[in-house]
Amino acid sequence: FYSSAQTMPFELLPGYLEELPEDELKKFKYNLIHLVHEKYQRIPRGQLELLDRMGIADIMIRSYGEVGALHVMLEILKRMNLNNLVQKLNKDLKKCNLKPLHLYY
């Protein structure tokens, strides 16, 4: 799904969220709530708690823009030590001509 050369950046996010089992999705939400970065604001806990994967993708894109949302996702996946997804996402970012952005927690 997300390895196609024709994939647009905003199409990647839901696919990667689908890769996360329920327990990892909870950890992802936790990291998203506690994001600290001068460029990106935190998404309030109340806005995330009841969202499914598509809802999380939507709020991330609305909050950070499609490219910013992918960069935030990459950094959270790194923080969670989900290296297989980090490698896949890095490859997909390159296919979309996007470079990784380093965030700080």
What would the pLDDT profile of 56-102 be if each residue is shown by its tens digit?
A: 999 999 999 988 899 899 999 999 999 999 999 988 888 777 665 54
Q: What is the pLDDT of residues 22-36, one digit of tens each?
A: 999 999 999 999 887
Distance of alpha carbon 60 from alpha carbon 65, whole angstroms: 7
CA distances in angstroms from 46 to 9, 20, 50, 59, 98, listed in the order given? 26, 21, 8, 12, 31
Domains and CATH numbers, the chain: 9-95 (1.10.533.10)
Distance of alpha carbon 56 from alpha carbon 61, whole angstroms: 9
Return the higher-pLDDT residue of 22 and 7. 22
The label of the residue with tokens 């894109």 reads 61
Q: What is the pLDDT of residue 42?
A: 85
Q: What is the pLDDT of residue 1?
A: 42
Grade residue 17 by pLDDT with cuts at 50, 70 and 90: very high
Q: What is the pLDDT of residue 38?
A: 73
